[in-house]
């Protein structure tokens, strides 16, 4: 059953020196419980599309519908996790995770119960009273993930959330998020530059073209769940990775030619 519909979405940025079309006539249908990873060259509009779905930006034309209702701005039905660390530095881990619950008016006891549950899920028990400056990058992103999931969003939107992490931490975060998704099946849109990550995480992988971006490829990932990191050596994984690598490479070269 469909949850998100993107129809004819374009985004044009106007400046004193002219106009730039970042995203052109983009269509996308997202089913309930999908985990869609989005690949493409830098500047192709991946993050722009995600921000439009989040309600943080508006399309120049077209529309985005969530559960049949047009998205007009941010809402608690969409949780967002960015690449940069966006925790409130003056709040502890517990208070960061409780923030959205408090804004929704939940009773304190309920806030603490929900927040503690997600803190446990992301492996941060014992760090509830720590501040962001006292955490590693991976721990900060675990807190951001717990904060987003605590609000029970219809969709989780992730913009290269593991891009700033070291390789080992990144792989552990992939397994952590995938395990949570396999248990809860929250619908996810996940932007990444990492093809291995896109295949390992996604139920579908979408490739966007060079700017102005459009969706040029949409592939189902033929890997079963639950997934284990050893699947990255499987034949189905390698076959899909090779196709995606060729598709993304072609768009990167097209972007370089266009830049002169």
Q: What is the DSSP string of 142-163?
A: HHHHHHHHHT--SEEEEESTTT
pLDDT at residue 246, as a whole number: 97
| Tens-place pLDDT, residues 118-137 | 999 999 999 999 999 999 99
pLDDT at residue 17, as a whole number: 81
**Mean pLDDT, the chain, integer:** 93
| Tens-place pLDDT, residues 73-98 | 999 899 999 887 789 999 999 999 99
pLDDT at 251 over 90: yes
* Site of tokens 């768009």: 251
The residue extents of the domains of the chain are: 2-77+155-259, 79-152
In whole angstroms, what separates CA 128 from the centre of its chain?
25
In percent, how much of the chain has pLDDT > 90? 84
Roughly how many angstroms between the first and final C-alpha of the chain, as a whole number? 44
Tokens of 233: 């050596």
| Tens-place pLDDT, residues 153-167 | 999 999 999 988 889
Q: 89 and 143 in contact (C-beta within 8 Å)? A: no
pLDDT at residue 255, as a whole number: 87
| Tens-place pLDDT, residues 39-48 | 999 889 999 9
Pick from 253, 252, 246, 174: nearest CA to 217: 246
Higher-confidence residue of 18 and 64: namely: 64
Tokens of 164: 């700033």
Average pLDDT estimate for 181-210: 95
Distance between CA atoms of residues 11 and 5, nearest Å:
16
pLDDT at residue 204, as a whole number: 98
Provide DSSP, 187-234: EEEEE-S-HHHHHHH-SEEEEEPSSSB-EEEEEE----SS--GGGGGS
For residue 102, list its beta bridge partners: none
User: What homologous superfamily does CATH list for 2-77+155-259?
Assistant: P-loop containing nucleotide triphosphate hydrolases (3.40.50.300)
Pick from 86, 85, 118: nearest CA to 101: 118
* Site of tokens 């972007």: 255
pLDDT at residue 257, as a whole number: 87
**56 pLDDT tier (thresholds 50, 70, 90):** very high
Tokens of 220: 């189902």
Q: What is the DSSP letter of 42?
A: T
Residue 204's CB: how many other CB atoms inside 10 A?
Answer: 17
Global pTM value: 0.92
In whole angstroms, what separates CA 6 from the centre of its chain?
16
pLDDT at residue 1, as a whole number: 62
Pick from 30, 23, 18, 45: nearest CA to 185: 30
pLDDT at 18 over 90: no
| Tens-place pLDDT, residues 170-195 | 999 999 999 999 999 999 999 999 99
Distance between CA atoms of residues 67 and 104, nearest Å:
21
């Amino acid at each position: 059953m469909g949850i998100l519909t993107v129809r004819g979405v374009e985004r044009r940025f106007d400046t004193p020196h002219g106009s730039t079309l970042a995203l052109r006539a983009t269509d996308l249908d997202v089913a309930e419980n999908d985990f869609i990873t989005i690949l493409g060259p830098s500047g192709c509009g991946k993050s722009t599309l995600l921000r439009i779905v989040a309600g943080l930006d508006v399309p120049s034309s077209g529309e985005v519908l969530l559960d049949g209702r047009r998205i007009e701005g941010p809402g608690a039905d969409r949780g967002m996790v960015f690449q940069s660390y966006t925790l409130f530095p003056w709040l502890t881990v517990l208070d960061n995770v409780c923030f959205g619950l408090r804004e929704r008016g939940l009773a304190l006891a309920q806030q603490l119960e929900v927040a503690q549950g997600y803190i446990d899920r992301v492996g941060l028990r014992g760090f509830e009273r720590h501040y962001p400056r006292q955490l590693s990058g991976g721990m900060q992103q675990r807190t951001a993930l717990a904060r987003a999931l605590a609000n029970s969003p219809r969709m989780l939107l992730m913009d290269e959330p593991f891009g700033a992490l070291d390789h080992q931490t990144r792989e552990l975060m992939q397994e952590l998020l995938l395990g949570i998704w396999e248990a809860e099946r929250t619908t996810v849109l996940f932007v990444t530059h990492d093809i291995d990550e896109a295949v390992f995480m996604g139920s579908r992988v979408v490739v966007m073209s060079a700017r102005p971006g459009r969706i040029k490829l949409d592939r189902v990932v033929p890997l079963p769940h639950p997934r284990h990191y050893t699947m990255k050596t499987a034949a189905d994984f390698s076959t899909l990775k090779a196709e995606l690598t060729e598709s993304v490479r072609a768009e990167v070269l097209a972007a370089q030619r266009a830049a002169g």
